[in-house]
């Protein structure tokens, strides 16, 4: 991998790590060792290209397109959009589902590729992202439900259930083995909630709820930290990926940044980069100590407001879903957890003077002062105490929420009309 990236055989590091092998891994490695031994960085580029052509095939060939039996040309919800231009645009976006459906090819040798095999079809984000992704799926599922595509939604949920219950105990960042060290913002509970609210499929709820609870346990066991405030100690969540090397899918970029710091500092740098990728905010000045340079990234020193608001939301969702599934005791248990967590959110993150929630910095033992879009997440998840309600409305007014939402929709619409593409992020 290092040799391929040093010689820049591909414009994108992700291309190589997505290429299936033509032989079993030990055979490919044995041949590479025979030819190049310890001179990997000094091998001729043309020789390396020939080796790759011989032992690897095109990226993404382990996947195939699939048919969507629940796709509708004119979903009712989209047809209710009053603005003619926006309704036409929504119907264009609806047709994209047909181009973005994938499934694993039958008979694919999973030992020869980096794909994490799943049993059902799924929707991919598109572009370089050939496989399924975790938190992207929440927004995809919101769209699928708006388009009445309940079978596809259920298939994606069952894929995630398989990852949690039968394979890893959590949902990786995406559907590749190089993502197994990190997850993404935990929206699995939210996905199940959206599906159950739309379909009332309570039999499915009972079967998938244990996986939702198990995934919460992963975050509680592996992504928490204790923070003392006054007399109380709070257990809160943070992004903290257990890795100390370059990300395979972004090896060249990480390697270049690594050269800018001392060798002894690189393992921590790479951990902070991967942890920022786990957050979904890859990359934002939010994680940089100097607010300018990736070299100063300190993701693992930051306890994020939005992640903790999402975890609080998960507890509330599990309480609600447990109630629907007929387990009153478990419902009460998670409701208590959620209420307790709200108090922790207020104690650690809430800035009374500014009237907003801010990230907590472990290095400075203070709240970071910068405002980012995450300040609205506790409102989205309703993870605030009622005493904060008046302040919460002030935050909404401050953000001028409706105008912001309208501007964002229209911005996406105009960019799509001009380029055929969508904005991924508007925040830096």
User: Whole-number mean pLDDT of the chain?
Assistant: 93
Please give the residue that has the higher pLDDT: either 379 or 193: 193
Predicted local distance difference test score (pLDDT) of residue 413 = 87
Q: Where are the domains of the chain?
A: 2-55, 63-107+116-167+186-202, 248-303
Q: What is the rounded CA–CA span in Å between residue 239 and residue 300?
A: 6
Predicted local distance difference test score (pLDDT) of residue 346 = 95
Q: Is the pLDDT of residue 172 over 80?
A: yes
Predicted local distance difference test score (pLDDT) of residue 86 = 96
φ and ψ at 219, to 5 degrees? Answer: -65, -40
127-165 per-position pLDDT tens digit = 999 999 999 999 999 999 999 999 999 999 999 999 999
29-79 per-position pLDDT tens digit = 999 888 876 665 678 899 899 999 999 999 999 999 999 999 999 999 999
Active site residue 351: no
Tokens of 337: 């957890």
Q: What is the rounded CA–CA span in Å between residue 95 and residue 114?
A: 29
Q: Which of 18, 282, 306, 359 is catalytic?
A: 282
Flag the least confident range among 243-252, 296-305, 377-386.
377-386
Q: Is the pLDDT of residue 324 over 80?
A: yes
**CB within 8 A of 195, min separation 6: which ones?**
141, 145, 150, 153, 154, 157, 201, 204
**Residue 116 and residue 176 in contact, taking contact as beta carbons nearer than 8 Å:** yes
pTM of the predicted protein model: 0.93
Q: Which of 69, 73, 329, 424 is catalytic?
A: 424
Active site residue 197: no
338-386 per-position pLDDT tens digit = 999 999 999 999 999 998 999 999 999 999 999 998 999 999 999 987 6
**Residue 167 and residue 177 in contact, taking contact as beta carbons nearer than 8 Å:** no
Please give the residue that has the higher pLDDT: either 394 or 22: 22
Predicted local distance difference test score (pLDDT) of residue 428 = 37
Q: What is the rounded CA–CA span in Å between residue 159 and residue 120?
A: 6
C-alpha pair distances (Å), 201 with each of 16, 73, 237, 324, 418:
41, 24, 31, 10, 41
Q: For 40-69, b where at least 16 C-beta lie within 10 A, e where not — what string?
A: beebeeeebeebbeebbeebbebbeebebe
φ and ψ at 181, to 5 degrees? Answer: -90, -10
**Residue 144 and residue 123 in contact, taking contact as beta carbons nearer than 8 Å:** yes
Q: Is the pLDDT of residue 398 over 70?
A: no
Nearest to 275 by CA among 256, 300, 308, 258: 300
**Residue 4 and residue 40 in contact, taking contact as beta carbons nearer than 8 Å:** no
- Rg of the chain in Å (alpha carbons): 23
- Rounded to a whole number of angstroms, the distance between the first and last alpha carbons of the chain is 30
Please give the residue that has the higher pLDDT: either 419 or 280: 280
Cis check: omega of the bond before 283, within 30 degrees of 0: yes
Predicted local distance difference test score (pLDDT) of residue 43 = 82
Nearest to 372 by CA among 245, 271, 286, 257: 286
Q: Is the pLDDT of residue 233 over 70?
A: yes
What mean pLDDT is predicted for residues 184-191? 99
Please give the residue that has the higher pLDDT: either 33 or 309: 309
Q: What is the rounded CA–CA span in Å between residue 177 and residue 112?
A: 12
**Residue 310 and residue 185 in contact, taking contact as beta carbons nearer than 8 Å:** yes
Question: How many Cα atoms within 13 Å fall on the side-chain side of residue 299?
Answer: 26
Nearest to 268 by CA among 305, 304, 241, 232: 241
Q: What value, to the nearest 5°, has the Cα angle with vertex 162 and ends 157 and 168?
A: 125
């Amino acid at each position: 991998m290092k040799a391929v990236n040093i010689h820049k055989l591909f414009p994108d590091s992700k291309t190589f790590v997505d290429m299936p092998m033509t032989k079993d891994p030990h055979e490919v490695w044995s041949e590479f060792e025979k030819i190049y031994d310890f001179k990997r960085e000094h091998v001729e580029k043309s020789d390396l290209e020939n080796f790759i052509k011989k032992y690897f095939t095109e990226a993404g060939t382990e996947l195939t397109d699939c048919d969507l039996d629940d796709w509708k040309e004119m979903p009712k919800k989209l047809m209710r959009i009053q603005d003619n231009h926006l309704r036409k645009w929504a119907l264009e976006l609806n047709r994209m589902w047909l181009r973005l459906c994938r499934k694993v090819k039958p008979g694919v040798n999973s030992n020869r590729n980096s794909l994490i095999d799943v049993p059902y079809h799924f929707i991919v984000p598109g572009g370089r992202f050939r496989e399924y992704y975790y938190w992207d799926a929440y927004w995809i599922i919101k769209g699928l439900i708006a388009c009445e595509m309940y079978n596809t939604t259920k298939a994606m949920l069952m894929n995630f259930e398989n990852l949690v219950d039968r394979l890893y105990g959590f949902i990786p960042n995406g559907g590749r083995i190089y993502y197994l060290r990190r997850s993404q913002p935990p929206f699995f509970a939210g996905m199940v909630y959206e599906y159950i609210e739309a379909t009332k499929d309570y039999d499915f709820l009972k079967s998938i709820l244990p996986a939702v609870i198990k995934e919460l346990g992963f975050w509680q066991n592996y992504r928490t930290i204790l923070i003392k405030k006054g007399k109380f100690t709070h257990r809160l969540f943070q992004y903290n990926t257990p890795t100390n090397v370059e990300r395979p899918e972004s090896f060249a970029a990480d390697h270049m940044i690594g050269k800018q710091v001392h060798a002894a500092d690189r393992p921590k740098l790479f951990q902070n980069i991967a942890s920022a990728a786990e957050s979904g905010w890859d990359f934002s000045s939010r994680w940089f100590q100097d607010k300018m340079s990736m070299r100063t990234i300190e993701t693992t020193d930051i306890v994020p407001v939005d992640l903790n608001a999402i975890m609080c939301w998960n507890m509330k969702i599990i309480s609600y879903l447990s109630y629907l599934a007929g387990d009153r005791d478990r419902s009460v248990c998670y409701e208590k957890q959620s209420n307790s967590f709200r108090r922790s959110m207020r104690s650690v993150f809430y800035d009374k003077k500014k009237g907003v929630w801010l990230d907590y910095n472990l290095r400075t033992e203070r709240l970071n002062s910068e405002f980012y879009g995450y300040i609205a997440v506790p409102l989205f998840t309703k993870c605030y105490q009622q005493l904060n309600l008046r302040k919460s409305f002030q935050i909404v007014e401050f953000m001028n929420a409706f105008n912001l939402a309208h501007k964002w929709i229209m911005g996406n619409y105009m960019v799509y009309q001009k380029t055929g593409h969508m904005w991924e992020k508007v925040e830096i």
